[in-house]
């Protein structure tokens, strides 16, 4: 306990543990407790600052000692000219090894890339060849027609691609013996040929049959397309259900149109429905009627069945026709 002055009324000799000043009632104890607390906090802060300064000085000394040791080590291993020369030579040797290793890795990557690319090119060649074959086996038009010109253009595009991919394979083939070996193995596994050269020779002989790709495409299409509409119709007749021997007569107020249905397909057909039409001089349809050439008894391949159909007369009729309308 200490005797202090009241901070409010300045009374002397008041105990600092007294709750209140006897004269003015000021909270003496609370005031001086707060003062003591602030002084304690100030003291602690000063101690912390001193510790921080001491730690910082210690850290600096350690850093200086470390730098000093580092310099001593540098001087120890690199101090003399001979040591510096030795380390320089070693560094150059390491750098050379790194460069050589990088060149080796780069070469290996190029070889691996060339192998994968070549396989992809062989696959694309096969795809283009299949496209040409598919185009040539599905020809159903007359050479020189609009459809023929379009097909020649498509085949030319495929031949251009084949030429390009073959040149790419040839370039990769020369990169390294591992690439050529991989190409040979891949061609053998994916085609019926024993080598890339055999496969390439086959493609050139079968598809590149003229001086340019466009001329080759034209020659290939010309070889499979119909030479005329008559040839196309005749060829279709050989594999179709057709109306033959069609004729017309009169029967009272009606025309009687009759004929034969021949089955040139490879399977029996049933419920063959025939449509007959009357046409004017401009081939405009005036009237139509339907009838059946057969029912569930069917018409077997290469066999025929007769039909007849009655249709009301029309004075404007100049032509007539009969055609297959439907069948099962």
Give percent above pLDDT 70 in the chain: 92
- Divide the 328 residues of the chain into consecutive groups of 10 and give the mean pLDDT of each group: 76 76 80 80 86 86 81 63 63 73 72 87 92 86 86 92 92 86 89 91 92 92 83 76 91 94 91 94 92 93 94 93 90
- Let me know whether 224 and 249 are in one domain: no
Residue of 201, 213, 197, 327 lying closest to 268 (CA atoms): 327
- Let me know whether 123 and 181 are in one domain: yes
Question: How many angstroms separate the Cα of 18 from the Cα of each of 14, 32, 34?
Answer: 7, 10, 14
Q: Does residue 92 sit within a domain?
A: no
Tokens 């850093």 belong to 63
Residue 164 CA to residue 230 CA, distance in Å, equals 39
Question: How many angstroms separate the Cα of 182 from the Cα of each of 112, 125, 179?
Answer: 10, 16, 5
How many residues comprise the chain? 328
Structure tokens at 164: 């390009």
Question: How many angstroms separate the Cα of 4 from the Cα of each of 20, 27, 28, 47, 289?
Answer: 12, 13, 9, 28, 135
Last residue of a domain, one of 196, 230, 264: 230
Count of domains forming the chain:
3
Residue 201 CA to residue 194 CA, distance in Å, equals 12
Last residue of a domain, one of 178, 212, 230: 230
pLDDT given for residue 146 in this prediction: 86
Q: What is the pLDDT of residues 272-305, one digit of tens each?
A: 999 999 999 988 999 999 999 998 999 999 999 9
- Let me know whether 220 and 130 are in one domain: yes
Q: What is the pLDDT of residues 106-118, one digit of tens each?
A: 777 788 888 888 8
Angle (nearest 5°) at CA 217 between 212 and 219: 95
pLDDT given for residue 74 in this prediction: 65
- Let me know whether 156 and 52 are in one domain: no
Helix (H, G, I), strand (E, B) or coil at 267: coil
- Let me know whether 168 and 262 are in one domain: no
Residue 327 CA to residue 267 CA, distance in Å, equals 12
Q: Element (H or E) spanning 111, and its range? A: helix 81-137
CATH code of 312's domain: 2.60.40.3230
Residue 130 CA to residue 80 CA, distance in Å, equals 75
Q: Does residue 205 sit within a domain?
A: yes
Domain residues for 59? Answer: 1-79
263: region left, alpha or beta (phi > 0 left; psi from -120 to 50 alpha): beta
Q: Does residue 91 sit within a domain?
A: no
Q: Does residue 165 sit within a domain?
A: yes
Last residue of a domain, one of 64, 79, 94: 79
Q: Does residue 105 sit within a domain?
A: no
- Let me know whether 226 and 242 are in one domain: no
Per the prediction, the chain carries an average pLDDT of 85
- Let me know whether 138 and 187 are in one domain: yes
Q: Does residue 270 sit within a domain?
A: yes
pTM (2 d.p.) = 0.51
Q: Does residue 179 sit within a domain?
A: yes
pLDDT given for residue 320 in this prediction: 93
Residue 187 burial (CB < 10 Å; 0-12/13-18/19+)? buried
- Let me know whether 249 and 196 are in one domain: no
């Amino acid at each position: 306990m200490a005797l202090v002055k009241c901070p409010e009324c300045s009374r002397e000799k008041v105990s600092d543990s007294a709750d209140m000043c006897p004269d003015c009632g000021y909270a003496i104890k609370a005031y001086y407790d707060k003062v003591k607390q602030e002084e304690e906090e100030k003291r602690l802060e000063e101690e912390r600052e001193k510790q921080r300064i001491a730690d910082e000085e210690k850290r600096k000394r350690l850093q200086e000692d470390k730098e000093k040791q580092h310099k001593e080590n540098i001087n120890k291993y690199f101090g003399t000219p001979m040591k510096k020369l030795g380390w320089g030579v070693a560094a150059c040797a390491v750098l050379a090894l790194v460069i050589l290793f990088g060149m080796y890795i780069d070469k290996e990557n190029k070889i691996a890339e060339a192998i994968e690319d070549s396989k992809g090119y062989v696959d694309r060649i096969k795809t283009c060849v299949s496209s040409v074959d598919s185009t040539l086996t599905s020809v159903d038009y007359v050479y020189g027609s609009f459809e023929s010109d379009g097909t020649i253009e498509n085949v030319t595009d495929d031949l251009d691609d084949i030429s390009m991919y073959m040149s790419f394979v040839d370039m990769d083939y020369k990169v390294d013996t591992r690439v050529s070996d991989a190409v040979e193995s891949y061609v053998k596994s994916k085609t019926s040929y024993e080598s890339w050269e055999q496969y390439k020779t086959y493609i050139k002989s079968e598809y590149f049959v003229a001086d340019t790709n466009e001329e080759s495409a034209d020659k290939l299409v010309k070889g499979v397309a119909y030479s005329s509409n008559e040839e196309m119709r005749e060829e279709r007749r050989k594999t179709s259900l057709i109306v033959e021997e069609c004729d017309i007569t009169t029967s009272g107020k009606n025309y009687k149109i009759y004929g034969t249905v021949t089955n040139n397909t490879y399977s029996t057909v049933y419920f063959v429905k025939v449509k007959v039409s009357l046409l004017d001089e401009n081939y405009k349809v005036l009237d139509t009627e339907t009838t059946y050439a057969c029912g569930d008894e069917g018409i077997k391949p290469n066999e025929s069945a007769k039909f007849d159909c009655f249709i009301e007369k029309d004075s404007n009729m100049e032509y007539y026709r009969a055609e297959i309308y439907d069948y099962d």
